Structure 1
Amino acid sequence: MADQVTALRAYHDPGGKAPGSGRPGPVGVSLREVSGFSLTQIACWPDTLTEAGAMAARVAGCDAAPGPGQVVTGARGRLLRVEPLKWWLIREAGSPAFADMPAALGAALDLSSARVWVRVEGTEARRLLNHFLPLDLRPDAFPPDRVASTAFHHVGITLWRSGEAFELALPRSFAASLWELLVDSARQYGLVTGEATYASEDGEE
Protein backbone atom coordinates (compact mmCIF):
# COMPACT_ATOMS: atom_id res chain seq x y z
CA MET A 1 0.00 0.00 0.00
CA ALA A 2 1.23 3.50 -0.79
CA ASP A 3 2.36 5.65 2.12
CA GLN A 4 -0.51 7.60 3.64
CA VAL A 5 -0.36 11.35 3.20
CA THR A 6 -2.05 12.99 6.15
CA ALA A 7 -4.89 15.29 5.20
CA LEU A 8 -4.49 17.54 8.25
CA ARG A 9 -0.73 17.97 8.62
CA ALA A 10 -0.92 21.69 7.85
CA TYR A 11 -3.30 22.12 10.79
CA HIS A 12 -1.08 20.56 13.45
CA ASP A 13 0.96 22.83 15.67
CA PRO A 14 4.28 21.29 16.81
CA GLY A 15 3.80 22.88 20.24
CA GLY A 16 0.50 21.10 20.73
CA LYS A 17 -1.54 24.26 21.25
CA ALA A 18 -3.95 25.28 18.53
CA PRO A 19 -3.77 28.99 17.62
CA GLY A 20 -6.04 30.83 20.03
CA SER A 21 -6.43 27.62 21.99
CA GLY A 22 -9.05 28.95 24.32
CA ARG A 23 -9.65 29.51 27.98
CA PRO A 24 -6.78 29.47 30.49
CA GLY A 25 -6.47 26.62 32.94
CA PRO A 26 -7.05 22.90 32.45
CA VAL A 27 -7.41 21.62 28.90
CA GLY A 28 -10.84 20.14 28.27
CA VAL A 29 -10.39 18.76 24.74
CA SER A 30 -7.60 17.00 22.87
CA LEU A 31 -7.89 16.60 19.09
CA ARG A 32 -5.46 14.32 17.30
CA GLU A 33 -5.25 12.96 13.78
CA VAL A 34 -4.41 9.26 13.82
CA SER A 35 -2.19 7.97 11.02
CA GLY A 36 -0.38 4.75 10.20
CA PHE A 37 -3.47 2.60 9.73
CA SER A 38 -5.10 0.63 6.94
CA LEU A 39 -8.88 0.50 6.53
CA THR A 40 -10.65 -2.22 4.57
CA GLN A 41 -14.39 -2.38 4.04
CA ILE A 42 -15.79 -5.91 3.89
CA ALA A 43 -19.27 -6.27 2.45
CA CYS A 44 -21.31 -9.42 2.03
CA TRP A 45 -24.67 -10.71 0.83
CA PRO A 46 -27.47 -11.55 3.28
CA ASP A 47 -26.96 -15.29 2.79
CA THR A 48 -23.16 -15.08 3.22
CA LEU A 49 -23.18 -13.01 6.44
CA THR A 50 -21.90 -15.80 8.68
CA GLU A 51 -19.15 -16.94 6.32
CA ALA A 52 -17.91 -13.42 5.51
CA GLY A 53 -17.96 -12.45 9.18
CA ALA A 54 -15.91 -15.51 10.08
CA MET A 55 -13.38 -14.61 7.39
CA ALA A 56 -13.07 -11.03 8.67
CA ALA A 57 -12.69 -12.25 12.25
CA ARG A 58 -9.86 -14.60 11.26
CA VAL A 59 -7.94 -11.77 9.59
CA ALA A 60 -8.39 -9.51 12.64
CA GLY A 61 -7.53 -12.29 15.07
CA CYS A 62 -10.93 -12.09 16.78
CA ASP A 63 -12.94 -14.96 18.20
CA ALA A 64 -16.00 -13.79 16.26
CA ALA A 65 -17.16 -10.86 14.17
CA PRO A 66 -19.05 -8.11 16.02
CA GLY A 67 -22.80 -7.69 15.88
CA PRO A 68 -24.55 -4.56 14.57
CA GLY A 69 -23.23 -1.36 16.11
CA GLN A 70 -20.41 -3.20 17.89
CA VAL A 71 -16.59 -3.11 17.79
CA VAL A 72 -14.23 -5.96 18.66
CA THR A 73 -10.45 -5.85 18.89
CA GLY A 74 -8.35 -8.86 18.00
CA ALA A 75 -4.69 -9.78 17.92
CA ARG A 76 -4.19 -8.32 14.44
CA GLY A 77 -6.78 -5.60 14.06
CA ARG A 78 -10.11 -4.09 14.95
CA LEU A 79 -13.49 -4.90 13.41
CA LEU A 80 -16.38 -2.44 13.34
CA ARG A 81 -19.87 -3.50 12.23
CA VAL A 82 -20.74 -0.26 10.45
CA GLU A 83 -23.81 -1.55 8.59
CA PRO A 84 -25.90 -4.74 8.71
CA LEU A 85 -23.89 -6.25 5.84
CA LYS A 86 -20.60 -4.37 6.22
CA TRP A 87 -17.58 -4.40 8.52
CA TRP A 88 -14.60 -2.13 8.65
CA LEU A 89 -11.26 -3.78 9.36
CA ILE A 90 -8.65 -1.44 10.86
CA ARG A 91 -5.06 -2.65 10.99
CA GLU A 92 -1.58 -1.19 11.08
CA ALA A 93 -0.44 0.32 7.79
CA GLY A 94 1.57 -2.17 5.79
CA SER A 95 -0.41 -5.18 6.98
CA PRO A 96 -0.79 -7.95 4.39
CA ALA A 97 -3.47 -7.21 1.84
CA PHE A 98 -6.88 -8.64 2.57
CA ALA A 99 -7.37 -11.85 0.57
CA ASP A 100 -9.53 -11.53 -2.52
CA MET A 101 -13.10 -12.44 -1.72
CA PRO A 102 -15.08 -14.53 -4.18
CA ALA A 103 -17.87 -12.43 -5.69
CA ALA A 104 -20.36 -14.98 -4.41
CA LEU A 105 -19.19 -14.25 -0.84
CA GLY A 106 -18.82 -10.48 -0.91
CA ALA A 107 -16.30 -7.75 -1.67
CA ALA A 108 -13.36 -6.09 0.09
CA LEU A 109 -12.43 -2.48 -0.64
CA ASP A 110 -9.42 -0.50 0.60
CA LEU A 111 -10.63 2.78 2.12
CA SER A 112 -7.33 3.78 3.73
CA SER A 113 -6.98 6.94 1.66
CA ALA A 114 -10.69 7.76 1.71
CA ARG A 115 -11.08 8.41 5.45
CA VAL A 116 -9.32 10.64 7.96
CA TRP A 117 -9.25 9.41 11.56
CA VAL A 118 -9.62 12.03 14.30
CA ARG A 119 -9.49 11.17 18.02
CA VAL A 120 -11.39 13.39 20.45
CA GLU A 121 -10.51 13.08 24.15
CA GLY A 122 -10.82 15.06 27.34
CA THR A 123 -13.33 15.96 30.01
CA GLU A 124 -15.33 18.07 27.54
CA ALA A 125 -15.09 15.74 24.53
CA ARG A 126 -18.70 14.58 24.74
CA ARG A 127 -19.98 18.12 25.18
CA LEU A 128 -17.98 19.26 22.16
CA LEU A 129 -19.29 16.47 19.91
CA ASN A 130 -22.86 17.11 20.95
CA HIS A 131 -22.58 20.56 19.40
CA PHE A 132 -22.54 18.74 16.07
CA LEU A 133 -23.78 15.14 16.33
CA PRO A 134 -27.43 14.10 16.86
CA LEU A 135 -26.50 11.20 19.15
CA ASP A 136 -26.83 10.43 22.83
CA LEU A 137 -23.16 10.05 23.77
CA ARG A 138 -23.62 9.49 27.50
CA PRO A 139 -21.67 6.44 28.72
CA ASP A 140 -24.76 4.32 29.34
CA ALA A 141 -26.11 5.03 25.84
CA PHE A 142 -22.84 4.96 23.88
CA PRO A 143 -20.27 2.93 25.86
CA PRO A 144 -16.84 1.80 24.68
CA ASP A 145 -16.85 -0.57 21.70
CA ARG A 146 -19.96 0.93 20.16
CA VAL A 147 -20.02 2.33 16.61
CA ALA A 148 -22.56 4.47 14.78
CA SER A 149 -23.00 6.14 11.43
CA THR A 150 -24.21 9.71 11.77
CA ALA A 151 -24.06 13.18 10.24
CA PHE A 152 -21.65 15.97 11.09
CA HIS A 153 -22.60 19.30 9.51
CA HIS A 154 -24.54 17.40 6.79
CA VAL A 155 -21.57 15.09 6.11
CA GLY A 156 -21.86 11.36 6.78
CA ILE A 157 -19.24 10.11 9.24
CA THR A 158 -18.53 7.04 11.38
CA LEU A 159 -18.04 7.37 15.15
CA TRP A 160 -16.89 4.79 17.70
CA ARG A 161 -15.74 4.68 21.30
CA SER A 162 -12.39 3.28 22.39
CA GLY A 163 -11.94 3.56 26.14
CA GLU A 164 -12.59 7.18 27.06
CA ALA A 165 -11.91 8.48 23.55
CA PHE A 166 -14.28 9.15 20.69
CA GLU A 167 -12.93 8.14 17.29
CA LEU A 168 -14.20 9.84 14.12
CA ALA A 169 -13.70 8.57 10.57
CA LEU A 170 -14.25 11.57 8.30
CA PRO A 171 -14.49 11.57 4.49
CA ARG A 172 -11.16 12.87 3.29
CA SER A 173 -12.57 15.66 1.11
CA PHE A 174 -14.44 17.16 4.10
CA ALA A 175 -11.83 16.48 6.79
CA ALA A 176 -10.20 19.92 6.81
CA SER A 177 -13.48 21.84 7.10
CA LEU A 178 -14.82 19.52 9.82
CA TRP A 179 -11.51 19.76 11.72
CA GLU A 180 -11.79 23.56 11.65
CA LEU A 181 -15.31 23.36 13.09
CA LEU A 182 -14.09 21.10 15.90
CA VAL A 183 -11.14 23.38 16.68
CA ASP A 184 -13.20 26.57 16.66
CA SER A 185 -15.80 25.10 19.00
CA ALA A 186 -13.28 23.36 21.28
CA ARG A 187 -11.44 26.59 22.10
CA GLN A 188 -14.09 27.47 24.67
CA TYR A 189 -13.09 24.38 26.66
CA GLY A 190 -9.32 24.71 26.36
CA LEU A 191 -7.71 22.79 23.49
CA VAL A 192 -4.59 20.90 22.47
CA THR A 193 -4.08 19.39 19.03
CA GLY A 194 -1.61 16.92 17.63
CA GLU A 195 -1.00 13.60 15.94
CA ALA A 196 -1.03 9.94 16.96
CA THR A 197 -0.17 6.70 15.21
CA TYR A 198 -2.16 3.49 15.13
CA ALA A 199 0.94 1.39 15.73
CA SER A 200 1.89 3.14 18.97
CA GLU A 201 -1.53 3.79 20.46
CA ASP A 202 -4.05 1.51 18.80
CA GLY A 203 -2.07 -1.34 17.36
CA GLU A 204 -2.51 -4.76 18.91
CA GLU A 205 1.18 -5.55 19.24
Structure 2
Amino acid sequence: MAELMSALKGHLTPGRYGLEGTAGVTLSEVHPFSLTQIAAWPDSLQAVGLEATLLAGCDAAPTPGQAALGPNGTLLRVEPLKWWLIGRDTPPDLPSLPAETGAVLDLSSSRTWIRLGGANAADLLNRFLPLNLSATAFPAGSSASTAFHHIGVTLWRDEDGFNLLLPRSFAASLWEMLTESAAQFGTEVV
Protein backbone atom coordinates (compact mmCIF):
# COMPACT_ATOMS: atom_id res chain seq x y z
CA MET A 1 0.00 0.00 0.00
CA ALA A 2 1.30 3.46 -0.85
CA GLU A 3 2.17 5.78 2.02
CA LEU A 4 -0.61 8.30 2.53
CA MET A 5 0.34 11.94 2.92
CA SER A 6 -1.57 14.23 5.22
CA ALA A 7 -3.98 16.59 3.48
CA LEU A 8 -3.00 19.14 6.15
CA LYS A 9 0.74 19.02 5.49
CA GLY A 10 1.90 22.63 5.50
CA HIS A 11 -1.34 23.79 7.17
CA LEU A 12 -0.96 22.21 10.61
CA THR A 13 1.49 24.19 12.75
CA PRO A 14 1.64 23.05 16.41
CA GLY A 15 1.44 25.79 19.02
CA ARG A 16 -0.82 28.08 21.07
CA TYR A 17 -3.10 30.58 19.35
CA GLY A 18 -5.68 33.20 20.21
CA LEU A 19 -6.95 33.95 23.69
CA GLU A 20 -4.27 33.64 26.36
CA GLY A 21 -4.60 31.37 29.38
CA THR A 22 -5.91 27.83 29.39
CA ALA A 23 -6.69 26.55 25.91
CA GLY A 24 -10.44 26.13 25.49
CA VAL A 25 -9.95 23.94 22.40
CA THR A 26 -7.27 21.46 21.40
CA LEU A 27 -7.03 20.42 17.77
CA SER A 28 -4.99 17.64 16.20
CA GLU A 29 -4.90 15.47 13.14
CA VAL A 30 -4.84 11.69 13.50
CA HIS A 31 -2.55 10.41 10.77
CA PRO A 32 -2.15 7.77 9.51
CA PHE A 33 -5.37 5.84 10.10
CA SER A 34 -7.57 3.28 8.40
CA LEU A 35 -11.18 3.68 7.31
CA THR A 36 -13.14 0.67 6.10
CA GLN A 37 -16.71 0.81 4.81
CA ILE A 38 -18.94 -2.22 5.29
CA ALA A 39 -22.20 -1.98 3.31
CA ALA A 40 -25.24 -4.25 3.30
CA TRP A 41 -28.40 -4.75 1.28
CA PRO A 42 -31.72 -4.48 3.15
CA ASP A 43 -32.19 -8.25 3.32
CA SER A 44 -28.61 -8.89 4.50
CA LEU A 45 -28.39 -6.16 7.16
CA GLN A 46 -28.20 -8.52 10.13
CA ALA A 47 -25.54 -10.79 8.58
CA VAL A 48 -23.38 -7.88 7.44
CA GLY A 49 -23.83 -6.18 10.83
CA LEU A 50 -22.39 -9.31 12.41
CA GLU A 51 -19.40 -9.16 10.00
CA ALA A 52 -18.84 -5.50 10.93
CA THR A 53 -19.01 -6.37 14.63
CA LEU A 54 -16.46 -9.16 14.20
CA LEU A 55 -14.16 -6.89 12.19
CA ALA A 56 -14.24 -4.20 14.92
CA GLY A 57 -14.17 -6.69 17.77
CA CYS A 58 -17.04 -4.94 19.56
CA ASP A 59 -19.99 -6.51 21.36
CA ALA A 60 -22.70 -5.47 18.90
CA ALA A 61 -23.13 -3.45 15.72
CA PRO A 62 -24.15 0.13 16.52
CA THR A 63 -27.56 1.38 15.52
CA PRO A 64 -27.95 4.50 13.32
CA GLY A 65 -26.42 7.54 14.98
CA GLN A 66 -24.27 5.44 17.29
CA ALA A 67 -20.64 4.35 17.58
CA ALA A 68 -19.14 1.28 19.27
CA LEU A 69 -15.54 0.94 20.40
CA GLY A 70 -13.73 -2.35 19.85
CA PRO A 71 -10.10 -3.43 20.04
CA ASN A 72 -9.75 -2.98 16.25
CA GLY A 73 -11.20 0.54 16.15
CA THR A 74 -14.45 2.47 16.36
CA LEU A 75 -17.43 1.19 14.39
CA LEU A 76 -19.82 3.95 13.27
CA ARG A 77 -23.27 3.49 11.78
CA VAL A 78 -23.04 6.25 9.17
CA GLU A 79 -26.10 5.32 7.10
CA PRO A 80 -28.97 2.84 7.50
CA LEU A 81 -27.10 0.21 5.45
CA LYS A 82 -23.47 1.22 6.12
CA TRP A 83 -20.89 1.04 8.86
CA TRP A 84 -17.45 2.62 8.94
CA LEU A 85 -14.63 1.07 10.93
CA ILE A 86 -11.99 3.66 11.78
CA GLY A 87 -8.74 2.79 13.50
CA ARG A 88 -5.28 4.15 14.13
CA ASP A 89 -3.60 1.20 12.44
CA THR A 90 -3.31 -0.04 8.89
CA PRO A 91 -6.55 -1.39 7.43
CA PRO A 92 -7.51 -4.79 8.81
CA ASP A 93 -7.66 -7.80 6.52
CA LEU A 94 -10.91 -7.07 4.76
CA PRO A 95 -13.52 -9.81 4.78
CA SER A 96 -14.82 -11.00 1.46
CA LEU A 97 -18.58 -10.62 1.20
CA PRO A 98 -20.58 -12.15 -1.64
CA ALA A 99 -21.94 -9.40 -3.91
CA GLU A 100 -25.51 -10.38 -3.06
CA THR A 101 -24.75 -9.85 0.66
CA GLY A 102 -22.77 -6.61 0.77
CA ALA A 103 -19.50 -4.87 0.00
CA VAL A 104 -16.35 -3.93 1.89
CA LEU A 105 -14.21 -1.03 0.75
CA ASP A 106 -11.03 0.66 2.03
CA LEU A 107 -11.72 4.43 2.21
CA SER A 108 -8.57 5.36 4.15
CA SER A 109 -7.30 7.85 1.57
CA SER A 110 -10.64 9.63 1.20
CA ARG A 111 -10.87 11.40 4.58
CA THR A 112 -8.88 13.47 7.06
CA TRP A 113 -9.42 12.74 10.78
CA ILE A 114 -9.45 15.71 13.18
CA ARG A 115 -9.68 15.35 16.98
CA LEU A 116 -11.16 18.20 19.03
CA GLY A 117 -11.03 18.42 22.80
CA GLY A 118 -11.26 20.97 25.57
CA ALA A 119 -14.02 22.78 27.43
CA ASN A 120 -15.09 24.77 24.35
CA ALA A 121 -14.88 22.07 21.65
CA ALA A 122 -18.69 21.74 21.40
CA ASP A 123 -19.04 25.55 21.24
CA LEU A 124 -16.55 25.69 18.37
CA LEU A 125 -18.27 22.90 16.43
CA ASN A 126 -21.66 24.54 16.95
CA ARG A 127 -20.36 27.53 14.99
CA PHE A 128 -20.36 25.24 11.94
CA LEU A 129 -22.54 22.15 12.49
CA PRO A 130 -26.36 22.19 12.73
CA LEU A 131 -26.43 19.79 15.71
CA ASN A 132 -27.13 20.00 19.42
CA LEU A 133 -23.76 18.86 20.80
CA SER A 134 -24.62 19.12 24.49
CA ALA A 135 -23.57 16.10 26.54
CA THR A 136 -27.22 15.10 27.04
CA ALA A 137 -28.23 15.35 23.36
CA PHE A 138 -24.97 14.03 21.87
CA PRO A 139 -23.23 11.91 24.54
CA ALA A 140 -20.12 9.77 24.10
CA GLY A 141 -20.97 6.98 21.69
CA SER A 142 -23.04 9.23 19.41
CA SER A 143 -22.29 9.77 15.72
CA ALA A 144 -23.78 11.87 12.95
CA SER A 145 -23.41 12.47 9.25
CA THR A 146 -23.89 16.21 8.85
CA ALA A 147 -22.71 19.27 6.93
CA PHE A 148 -19.85 21.66 7.66
CA HIS A 149 -19.99 24.74 5.42
CA HIS A 150 -22.10 22.74 2.91
CA ILE A 151 -19.58 19.85 2.92
CA GLY A 152 -20.69 16.39 4.10
CA VAL A 153 -18.72 15.32 7.21
CA THR A 154 -18.95 12.60 9.84
CA LEU A 155 -18.75 13.40 13.55
CA TRP A 156 -18.62 11.17 16.59
CA ARG A 157 -18.05 11.75 20.27
CA ASP A 158 -15.97 9.55 22.52
CA GLU A 159 -14.86 9.88 26.14
CA ASP A 160 -12.02 12.24 25.13
CA GLY A 161 -13.96 14.67 22.91
CA PHE A 162 -15.06 14.94 19.31
CA ASN A 163 -13.78 13.30 16.12
CA LEU A 164 -14.42 14.79 12.71
CA LEU A 165 -13.91 13.02 9.39
CA LEU A 166 -13.54 15.56 6.58
CA PRO A 167 -13.37 14.83 2.86
CA ARG A 168 -9.69 14.97 1.97
CA SER A 169 -10.14 17.52 -0.82
CA PHE A 170 -11.78 20.04 1.57
CA ALA A 171 -9.65 19.32 4.65
CA ALA A 172 -7.27 22.31 4.34
CA SER A 173 -10.02 24.91 3.92
CA LEU A 174 -12.19 23.44 6.71
CA TRP A 175 -9.11 23.20 8.98
CA GLU A 176 -8.43 26.90 8.35
CA MET A 177 -12.00 27.81 9.35
CA LEU A 178 -11.74 25.67 12.51
CA THR A 179 -8.41 27.10 13.64
CA GLU A 180 -9.37 30.71 12.94
CA SER A 181 -12.66 30.38 14.82
CA ALA A 182 -11.04 28.41 17.69
CA ALA A 183 -8.71 31.34 18.45
CA GLN A 184 -11.59 33.06 20.29
CA PHE A 185 -11.45 30.28 22.93
CA GLY A 186 -7.66 29.93 23.04
CA THR A 187 -6.37 27.04 20.95
CA GLU A 188 -3.64 24.51 21.22
CA VAL A 189 -2.74 22.67 18.00
CA VAL A 190 -0.91 19.44 18.75
User: 1:91 Cα deviation (Å)?
Assistant: 2.6
Q: Would the alpha carbon gap of residues 96 and 129 (structure 1) be closer, same or farther in structure 2, given more than 3 Å must change?
A: closer
Where in structure 2 are the equivalents of 1:142-161 lying within 5 Å?
142-161=138-157
- Could you list the runs of 5+ residues in structure 1 that have no partner in the other structure? 195-205
Partner of 1:70: 66
Distance 1:174 1:77 in 2: 24
SS in structure 1 at match of 2:92: coil
Partner of 1:11: 11
User: 1:11 Cα deviation (Å)?
Assistant: 1.8
Cα displacement string for residues 53-75 of structure 1 (whole angstroms, at most 9, x for unaligned residues): 00111111112211111111112
Partner of 1:201: none
Partner of 2:21: 25
Partner of 2:57: 61
Query: Within the alignment, does 1:129 sit opposite 2:115 as a pair?
Result: no
SS in structure 2 at match of 1:113: helix
Distance 2:182 2:88 in 1: 29
Query: Within the alignment, does 1:107 sit opposite 2:107 as a pair?
Result: no
Percentage identity across aligned positions?
56
Q: TM-score, normalised by structure 1?
A: 0.89
SS in structure 1 at match of 2:52: helix
Contact 2:35 2:108 in 1 (8 A): yes
Partner of 1:172: 168
Cα displacement string for residues 112-164 of structure 1 (whole angstroms, at most 9, x for unaligned residues): 00000001111111111111110000000000010001100000100000114
Cα displacement string for residues 55-104 of structure 1 (whole angstroms, at most 9, x for unaligned residues): 11111111221111111111222210011100001133324331221101
Moved more, 83-92 or 48-57: 83-92
User: 1:37 Cα deviation (Å)?
Assistant: 1.4
Partner of 2:76: 80
Query: Within the alignment, does 1:2 sit opposite 2:14 as a pair?
Result: no
Q: TM-score, normalised by structure 2?
A: 0.96
Distance 1:144 1:25 in 2: 27
Moved more, 144-153 or 21-30: 21-30
- Could you list the runs of 5+ residues in structure 2 that have no partner in the other structure? none
Distance 1:101 1:35 in 2: 28
Distance 2:67 2:117 in 1: 18
Distance 1:92 1:128 in 2: 25
Counterpart amino acid of residue 7 in structure 1: A
Query: Within the alignment, does 1:192 sit opposite 2:184 as a pair?
Result: no
Contact 2:36 2:91 in 1 (8 A): no
Counterpart amino acid of residue 63 in structure 2: G
What is the Cα-based RMSD across aligned positions, in Å?
1.2
Distance 2:170 2:91 in 1: 27
Distance 1:76 1:95 in 2: 10
Q: Would the alpha carbon gap of residues 111 and 95 (structure 1) be closer, same or farther in structure 2, given more than 3 Å must change?
A: closer
